Copies of this chain bind each other. A is one copy, B any other.
Amino acid sequence: MSEHSDYPRPFVTVDLVIFTIAEDALQVLLIERGNEPFKGKWALPGGFVEIDEALDEAAARELQEEVGVTNIFLEQLYTFGDPGRDPRGRVISIAYYALTDAMRTRIVAASDAADARWYPVFDPEIDGQLAFDHRQILDYAVWRLRNKIEWTTVGYELLPVKFTLSELQRVYEIILQRPVDKRNFRKKILGQGQIRELNETRSDGAHRPARLYSFKKP
């Protein structure tokens, strides 16, 4: 690095892949674009990184602005910067992904957004509807999430504080898109020692009530 001042400076944004589980599906928050380019298409929420703000802070701020939640799982994913990914100019975007319980969010439309909504990730309806390179970003986020739940405890982040093991198992099945064996699942999850058994049950209709659990925060 020699001298700074004469170098071209691209725009830098953060884009967010915000996942939740709702209606028995993995959902991602998308915003309908109100302006060109890609008017009428759907885009991941995002925004510019302020000059005095860390990248994680920018992502957390966007998260707060878009869905009104703080303090949820948020991790840097990858940085996308192909020239031409945004027809308006050189925009480098640091993508993050976040996991939240759907009930904690309140979706707030962004200023230039005609609409914001949850979209089922694996629904073919979404194909061809994404703006910019956001299909690529979303695919990468799904790939990371799938890997991550196999060897970490990140699945809890999609559920409320108190949950049943069946609910957690369903989260895994929805993300992995394959059935999971009930007994092996319980053995594995309980064996991780990250989950606390509560002295409460939830009665959810005409069945045996399920025991509630919560995640042990470290």
Q: Does A200 contact B (CB under 8 A)?
A: no
Given the contacts A11-B7, A12-B9, A111-B2, A81 and B47 also touching, CB distance less than 8 Å: no
Residues of B within 8 A of A8 (CB): 48, 50-51
**Cα of A5 to Cα of B92 in the assembled complex, Å:** 15
A54 touches B76 (CB 8 A): no
Helix, strand, loop or mixed for chain A's interface? Answer: loop
Number of copies: 2
B83 touches A1 (CB 8 A): no
Q: Mark A1-33, 1 if CB is under 8 A from B, else 0.
A: 110100111111100000000000000000000
Q: Which 7 A-B pairs have the closest CB atoms?
A: A9-B9, A8-B51, A55-B81, A79-B79, A7-B48, A54-B82, A79-B94
Q: Does A205 contact B (CB under 8 A)?
A: no
**Cα of A52 to Cα of B81 in the assembled complex, Å:** 10
**Cα of A76 to Cα of B95 in the assembled complex, Å:** 13
Q: Does A112 contact B (CB under 8 A)?
A: yes
**Cα of A81 to Cα of B12 in the assembled complex, Å:** 11
Looking at the complex, which one of B11, B78, B92 makes contact with A4 (CB distance below 8 Å)?
B11
Looking at the complex, which one of B46, B78, B81, B94 makes contact with A49 (CB distance below 8 Å)?
B81
For the complex formed, measure the closest distance between the CB of A39 and the CB atoms of chain B, giving whole angstroms. Answer: 13
For the complex formed, measure the closest distance between the CB of A122 and the CB atoms of chain B, giving whole angstroms. Answer: 26
Looking at the complex, which one of B1, B12, B94 makes contact with A48 (CB distance below 8 Å)?
B1
Given the contacts A1-B47, A88-B4, A83 and B53 also touching, CB distance less than 8 Å: yes
